[in-house]
């Protein structure tokens, strides 16, 4: 088969779409030397592409321009005909006309359920284009049963069309960083131990205002020098979110901004606990990464997060600040429970590998290629 993959998200550091396509491509190209792959990029010399296996069955084709509203319909579509692909794999949005059967990864429908977390243009565009991609795809991939049911219901798809392929966790999260290297990494971001950690884009649906207020409750009750470290790059309405956070006047709050991939494992591994009180997730990659690092997790009992954490996290109502603070106190004071959660989390995370995701994705490609268009 000739498989075209829209890989441009691999160039967008600090997003779930980026982590997904990097992990998946690395694993697929490490496993499959038979099929032909064309990776559609916007920055051919990006370091990620340099890190991929240099094999004769892999080619990187650079498409202009960077903006997807122009590149996808006007350049990606024609490129698939020129390359005579059998399969085109995209995330969320596909060109209206393309060669080959379509595989679309749709991580979640947050733009439908959490409109205050996206711009009006993004919602309008997504309502049209994601629906069209889902209904035109031979196969849709998503990361959880929660999202599978949501996508089937929203777009009226047959159950067999939507395949659940859980995301993976990179091996670096399981490997303990050397103490001196970890100290240098933490210091470079202004972090000192002890600290509790959040990792994710600074978007309203991440519920950061409730997190900071809950942390203040915890600090008053526990009287501890613990820092709250919020790590992640800007996103929609970040300025408003940061203004609300700063108005709380919380002490010991560290906003690191974007954290490099190579630094993330040490940041997770040295945290006392990981907090992820998101209001809506189709999977929740940071929860898996924290569990792999052996960090006890507090996360929401909403959307796909209970499914992702598989009974290995302490679940809370995300908008109940008293409950979040009480969960933090429980982990801080019950060392036996905390140790048990660490071990359960690591064992759970071991089940989520990019190799497993790649093998299942290759099977989906084969099934999609067999579909009549």
Q: Is residue 222 located within the same domain as residue 335?
A: yes
DSSP secondary structure letter of residue 283: S
Q: Is residue 211 located within the same domain as residue 160?
A: no
- The predicted pLDDT at position 281 comes to 97
Tell me the per-residue pLDDT of 127-143, one tens digit each, with 9 for 90 and over: 999 999 999 999 999 99
| Residues in a beta bridge with 163 | 141
pLDDT band at 20 (very low <50, low <70, confident <90, very high): very high
Q: Is residue 329 located within the same domain as residue 230?
A: yes
φ, ψ of residue 153 to 5 degrees: the values are -70, -45
Q: Is residue 134 located within the same domain as residue 251?
A: no
Tell me the per-residue pLDDT of 326-365, one tens digit each, with 9 for 90 and over: 999 999 999 999 999 999 999 999 999 999 999 999 999 9
The total domain count for the chain is 2
Q: Is residue 160 located within the same domain as residue 41?
A: yes
Q: Is residue 261 located within the same domain as residue 140?
A: no
Contact between 89 and 5 (Cβ < 8 Å): yes
Decide: helix, strand or coil at residue 146. Answer: helix
Q: Is residue 133 located within the same domain as residue 178?
A: no
Cβ-Cβ contacts under 8 Å for 160 (sequence gap 6 or more): none
Question: Count of CB atoms within 10 A of residue 90's CB?
Answer: 25
Contact between 326 and 215 (Cβ < 8 Å): no
Q: Is residue 205 located within the same domain as residue 146?
A: no
Of 45-54, 194-203, 315-324, where does mean pLDDT reach its minimum?
A: 45-54
- Is residue 372's pLDDT more than 90? no
pLDDT band at 373 (very low <50, low <70, confident <90, very high): low
Q: Is residue 306 located within the same domain as residue 357?
A: no
What is this structure's pTM? 0.96
Tell me the per-residue pLDDT of 51-89, one tens digit each, with 9 for 90 and over: 998 889 999 999 988 788 899 999 999 999 999 999 999
149 to 140, 163, 269, 328, 338: CA distances (angstroms): 12, 10, 34, 32, 33
Q: What CATH code is carried by the domain that includes residue 102?
A: 3.40.50.2000
Q: Is residue 184 located within the same domain as residue 255?
A: yes
Of 60-69, 195-204, 303-312, 336-345, where does mean pLDDT reach its minimum?
A: 60-69
Tell me the per-residue pLDDT of 37-50, one tens digit each, with 9 for 90 and over: 999 999 989 999 99
Contact between 164 and 143 (Cβ < 8 Å): yes
Q: Is residue 89 located within the same domain as residue 175?
A: no
Domain that includes residue 302, residue range? 171-349
Residue 42, both tokens: 């916007």
Q: Is residue 264 located within the same domain as residue 365?
A: no
């Amino acid at each position: 088969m000739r498989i075209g993959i829209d890989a441009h998200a691999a160039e967008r550091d600090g997003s779930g779409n980026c982590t997904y396509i990097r992990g998946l491509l690395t694993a697929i190209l490490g496993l499959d030397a038979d099929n032909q792959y064309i990776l559609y990029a916007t920055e051919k010399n990006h370091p990620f592409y340099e890190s991929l296996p240099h094999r004769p069955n892999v080619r990187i084709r650079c498409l202009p321009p960077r903006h997807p509203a122009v590149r996808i319909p006007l350049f990606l579509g024609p490129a698939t005909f020129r390359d005579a692909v059998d399969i085109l794999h995209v995330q969320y949005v596909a060109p209206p006309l393309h060669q080959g059967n379509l595989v679309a990864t749709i991580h979640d429908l947050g733009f439908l359920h959490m409109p205050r977390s996206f711009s009006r243009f993004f919602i309008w565009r997504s309502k049209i284009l994601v629906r069209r991609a889902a209904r035109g795809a031979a196969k849709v991939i998503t990361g959880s049963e929660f999202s599978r049911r949501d996508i089937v219901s929203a777009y009226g798809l047959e159950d067999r069309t939507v395949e659940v392929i859980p995301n993976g966790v990179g091996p670096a999260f399981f490997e303990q960083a050397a103490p001196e290297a970890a100290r240098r990494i933490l210091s470079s971001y202004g972090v000192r131990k002890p600290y509790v950690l959040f990792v994710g884009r600074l978007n309203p649906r991440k519920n950061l205002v409730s997190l900071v207020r809950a942390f203040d409750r915890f600090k008053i009750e526990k009287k501890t020098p613990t820092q709250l470290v919020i790590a992640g790059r800007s996103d929609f309405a970040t300025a408003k979110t940061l203004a609300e956070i700063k108005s709380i006047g919380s002490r010991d709050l560290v906003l690191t901004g974007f954290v490099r991939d190579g630094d993330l494992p040490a940041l997770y591994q040295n945290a006392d606990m990981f907090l992820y009180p998101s209001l809506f997730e189709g999977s929740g990659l940071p929860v898996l990464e924290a569990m792999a690092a052996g960090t006890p997790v507090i996360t929401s009992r909403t959307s796909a997060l209970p499914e992702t954490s598989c009974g290995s996290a302490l679940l809370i109502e995300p908008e109940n600040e008293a409950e979040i603070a009480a969960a933090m106190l429980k982990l801080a004071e019950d060392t036996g429970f905390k140790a048990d959660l660490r071990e359960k989390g690591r064992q759970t995370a071991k089940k989520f590998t990019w190799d497993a995701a790649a093998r299942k994705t290759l099977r989906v490609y084969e099934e999609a290629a067999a579909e009549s268009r």
